[in-house]
Structure 1
Amino acid sequence: MPKPLFNSERCKGCALCTVACPKKILEISNQFNSKGYYPANCVDVSKCIGCCLCAKACPDIAIEIYK
């Protein structure tokens, strides 16, 4: 089962990953990180298909997919 791992300290909350996700299981958090950005996170890991589109869309390399 694939598992997306988000590095919330690297994420700047651009939301490109939320647009790229075909399952629409990513969202921007309502809590900010230490740099003042609202990072993205996965709301339902069980629905992740491991396509890696979110990781490819991320300009900050803040997402890794573990299979």
Structure 2
Amino acid sequence: MAKIRGAIVVDNVTCKGCSLCVASCPTDVIRLADEVNAKGYNYAYMHQPEACIGCANCAMVCPDSCITVYKVKLAETV
């Protein structure tokens, strides 16, 4: 059986750094960047991508729908 890992893509242009996604992540994958976007907000990013389980909590709580969640199939080692 293939192992699945989660991955998120954050639209840095529209993210306003509300940090709801940070609070909702059960595995502490998401943080706010030190850099700011064009609107002056510290946007969210994947700090620990290997810990993402693809639960989509972050996408559900994002008020601006800035986050897309993917499930990535890991290569099997034999």
Q: If the length of structure 2 is used for normalisation, what is the TM-score?
A: 0.82
Q: Distance in 2 between matches of 1:3 and 1:15?
A: 18
Q: Distance in 1 between matches of 2:15 and 2:66?
A: 6
Q: Distance in 2 between matches of 1:11 and 1:33?
A: 8
Select the structure of larger CA radius of gyration: 2
Q: Distance in 2 between matches of 1:66 and 1:26?
A: 15
Q: Whose strand fraction is larger, Structure 1's or Structure 2's?
A: 2
Q: Distance in 1 between matches of 2:28 and 2:6?
A: 15
Instruction: Choose which of 14, 21, 24 in structure 2 pairs with 1:20.
Output: 24
User: Percent sequence identity over matched residues?
Assistant: 37
Post-superposition shift, 1:66? Answer: 1.1
Q: Which residue number corresponds to residue 37 of structure 1?
A: 41
How many pairs are equivalent? 67
Instruction: Choose which of 46, 64, 67 in structure 1 pairs with 2:68.
Output: 64
Structure 1 portions without partners, runs of 5+: none
Q: Distance in 1 between matches of 2:7 and 2:17?
A: 20
Q: Which residue number corresponds to residue 7 of structure 1?
A: 11
Runs of 4+ in structure 1 over 3 Å off: none
Q: If the length of structure 1 is used for normalisation, what is the TM-score?
A: 0.95
